[in-house]
Structure 1
Amino acid sequence: MSLESETRRIQLTGGSTLIVSLPKEWARQLNLQPGDEVILLPQRDMSLLLVPKKTIRSAFSEAKIEVTDELAKGDRLTRITLGYYLAGYDIFRLFFNQNTIGMKKDIKDIARRKLTGVEIVDEGRNTLTLQNLINVPGDISINDIVLKIVRVTESMLDDIKVALSTIDKNILTDIVERDNEVDRFYWLLNRMLKKLTTSTYYASASGIKDPRTILDYALINKSLERLSDHIVQIANELLQVGQQYIMGIPKEQRDKVIEYIDKVMELIGVLSRSLSSQPSSVNEINNLIELAREKAREVRGLQGSLREYETSPSIIASFDSILYSIARMLEYISDIGEALLNINIEVG
């Protein structure tokens, strides 16, 4: 639909009611009839968004994927499926040949681990149909998803702190597996944010007060996902070195690591409150940004400090890797703080 803008005069009817007629060609293309309902959404710039109710719930968009031998190589099918999910498709129909039928198991695993709201609705010998069951907007808000990521991240940090003192393999393995939950919410929020950019109505109905904040939420989402990845990197380092971490590293150095993990948890807590019902002031967010950067510099200053002690090169490398991940977590917290600051300014 491509229509030119029009200017209409406001009319007075019944002595007190203001009315304006709708463009005839626009109404014709949408097949609007007397009695049809429209939604009126006032915008921040004092314009008025008019949305015919009948157009809001359009037919499910459907993706058909032929799983060829070429597409079955490496991670290609995963990338394609994720691409359709992020593009906003609701139904995924996959068709397999004799050589690729074994990929059905992989697709089911992708849906389980990465695609929140996507369920298997039909399966044949050579076919598989997935459908997204989460409506955007409506079923879940942007802030809800961000807070879910924050809370999973907080639980991972709490457990990594315990594991730094115990090297408990069960706890470390659970941390690595829990990262899948972060990934699921990360992809869901990516999908939602992409959809909001395609429709002013979706953005308004989702609670977004200013479209510029979509970019800020995208940065927050990516920073939280990367922060979670660094928690997993620490867990993997501890799984690899095992008890050598405790035996080969002086307690004073290990205590410093726990101290900085505590600081990361403290700052994550501030972020959590800023995203919930107790938003932080501009001064509080600025203080968070500056403190996160200061602590990141301190952590980077500790890298290489184990060379003063008699310990193996592999332990030194693992210790420096853990410190690098902590520094990056603090830097990501600073990035999130900057995005929250932008949101505060943009929405007033």
Structure 2
Amino acid sequence: MSIVKFEPETRRVQLTGGATLIVSLPKEWTRQVDLKPGDEVLVIPQTDLSLLIVPKKMVKAPMLEASIDILQDLSNIDHLERVLLSYYLAGYDVFKLNFDITTLGLKKQVKDIVRRKLTGVEIIEEGRNTLVIQNLINVPDINIKDVMIKLVRTVVGMIEDLRTPIENGDKSVAMDIIERDNEVDKFYWLLDRQLKRVLVSKHALSLSGLQDPRNIIEYAIINKSLERAADHAVKIAREIVNLGDKYLLVIPQELRQRFSELLVKDAEIMNDVGKAMLGKIDIKEVNSIIDLVKYEVRSAIESTESQLPGYNLTSQAAASARLILDSIYRIAEYASDVGEALINLAIEQMS
């Protein structure tokens, strides 16, 4: 996805036909985009009163292909996953993976990564030593705000459902929450890819639903904050699973109930910032949400933590309780970060 840079050129506006103003196009630019007489262009007015000119034949951008040789230096699946995700985020649509004898065993794990992490990406061809993976989602099909709302709802659902394993140690629900983190990751990587795309293409920006290129930064912050909130929901669920049957024995019922009440507050806060995204952002309302986290939730967490010695917990139980409390507070903090980004978006919309 190379970006060709051109020096600004001055063009004089001319009158033709008695009423029509025309301007010639830079020769080097027309050569780069292969524009010929009779071709059509889209002329798209921008919010800053400038015009964006896009050759109509370029509206559907050509697919970028990457050929990746999976050799010994990529035999670590974590390293390979990072490389694949980086190509995906950079905007590549087709990945041709070539394995050698030392890495052939990674094919199954690569297919699992595609299934769990990448929305709209499918295996379209497979040979003994090769995999061809293709992104099937077109940029115009993605509205960033719509996907963001779906991400918020997924995170809120995870937080709400945490109450069940928190109260009664239900490991099946905890495992389900852990699995749902894959859906969050899919939304997260999809949005990250799309935000990078609109950053380098004004045409993609005009199709994305964003009003202002400055919004890209705020949506990137929101995206990351929601992904981190989901990670902390998973952290709590994993702690319950790891404790297993001991969870109900080492964490008193009264303390478990307190955790559940705090999670109710987390879910309400996260749901409120989600609602704030739906329409015109109310700065006063969002400030109230942030204050709730800063004062009420923090105070409740600190109060609960100060009461832990009174429960006569074992060292393991005390460590688990503190981990759960910390993650409950982190979830609220990330919701607060989303709120701050929403205020920035509201101000940008005013200017």
- The aligned counterpart of 2:330 is 328
Q: Which residue of the partner structure matches residue 43 of structure 1? A: 46
RMSD (Å) for aligned C-alpha atoms:
1.6
Give the aligned residue type for 1:30: V
CA-CA distance at 1:11 after TM superposition: 2.2
Using the alignment, how far apart are the partners of 1:188 and 1:259 within structure 2? 33
Compare 297-306 and 213-222 and name the one that shifted more.
Answer: 297-306
Show CA shifts across 1:108-132 (max 9, x none). Answer: 0110011111100111111100000
The one-letter amino acid paired with 1:285 is V
CA separation in 1, counterparts of 2:206 and 2:26? Answer: 23
Higher share of residues assigned helix: 2
Tell me which amino acid in the other structure corresponds to 2:34: N
Q: Aligned to 2:96, what secondary structure does the other structure show?
A: strand
Q: Which among 5, 9, 28 is matched to residue 6 of structure 1?
A: 9
Residue 210 of structure 1: aligned partner: 212
Give the whole-Å Cα distance in 1 for the aligned partners of 2:116 and 2:296: 34
For this pair of structures, how many residues does the alignment match?
346
Q: CA deviation at 1:74?
A: 4.6
Deviation at 1:224, TM superposition (A): 0.4
Unmatched 5+ stretches in structure 2: none
1:6-30 deviation per Cα after TM superposition (whole angstroms, max 9, x unaligned): 2222222333322222223322332
How many percent of aligned residue pairs carry the same amino acid?
A: 49
Instruction: Give 1:34 shift.
Output: 2.4
CA drift at 1:56:
2.8
Structure 2 residue aligned with 1:52: 55
Within a 5 Å distance, the mapping from 1:127-146 to structure 2 comes to 127-136=130-139, 138-146=140-148
**In 1: Cα distance, 2:331 partner to 2:62 partner:** 42
Distance 1:100 1:250, change over 3 A: closer
Q: Which of these residues, 80, 84, 88, is aligned with residue 87 of structure 2? A: 84
Give 1:20's match in structure 2, choosing from 20, 23, 34: 23
User: Secondary structure, in 3 states, of the residue corresponding to 1:303?
Assistant: helix
Give the superposition deviation at 1:304.
Answer: 4.6
Amino acid at match of 1:111: V
Q: Aligned partners of 2:169, 2:152: CA distance in 1, in Å?
A: 24
Distance 1:196 1:238, change over 3 A: same
Provide the C-alpha distance between the structure 1 equivalents of 2:296 and 2:37, rounded to a whole number of angstroms.
64
Indicate whether 1:284 and 2:273 are aligned.
Answer: no
Residue 118 in 1 paired to residue 128 in 2? no
- Give runs of aligned pairs for residues 160-199 of structure 1, distance below 5 A: 160-199=162-201
Offset from partner CA, 1:39-97 (integer Å, 9 cap, x none): 12212221111111122323211111111122112511111111111111100000011
SS at match of 1:197: helix
- Whole-Å separation in 2 of the counterparts to 1:135 and 1:102: 32
Is the contact between residue 285 and residue 337 of structure 1 (CA under 8 Å) also seen in structure 2?
yes
Is contact 1:91-1:129 (8 Å) kept?
yes
Question: SS state of the match for residue 3, structure 1?
Answer: coil
Does the 8 Å contact 1:296/1:331 carry over to 2? Answer: no
99-108 or 252-261, which deviates more: 252-261
Cα distance in 2, alignment partners of residues 48 and 343 from structure 1? 23
Tell me the residue number matched to 1:104.
107
Instruction: Tell me the SS of whatever aligns to 2:54.
Output: strand
Spell out structure 1 runs of 4+ moving beyond 4 A. Answer: none
Q: 2:77, 2:243 → 1: CA distance? A: 30
1:302 matched residue in structure 2: 304
CA distances 1:261-296 after superposition (whole Å, capped 9, x unpaired): 1111111111221222x3331111111111122234
**Which string of whole-angstrom CA distances, capped at 9 and with x for unpartnered residues, describes residues 140-189 of structure 1?**
21112211211111221121112222211111111111111101111111
Contact 1:186/1:225, CA 8 A, preserved across alignment:
yes
2:234 to 210, 214, 232: 232
1:178 partner SS: helix
CA distance in 2, matches of 1:3, 1:336: 37
Q: SS where residue 122 of structure 2 aligns?
A: strand
TM-aligned CA deviation for residue 32 of structure 1:
1.6
Shift of 1:326: 0.5
Find the aligned partners of 1:269 and 1:73 in 2 and give their Cα distance. 39
Amino acid in structure 1 at the alignment position of 2:280: P
Question: Does the CA contact (< 8 Å) of 2:167 and 2:257 recur in 1?
Answer: no
Q: CA deviation at 1:243?
A: 4.7
In structure 1, the residue matched to 2:68 is 65
Amino acid at match of 2:287: N
Distance in structure 2 (CA, Å) of the matches to 1:74 and 1:171 = 28
Give how far 1:236 is off. Answer: 1.1
Q: 2:70·2:99 contact (CA, 8 Å) conserved in 1?
A: yes
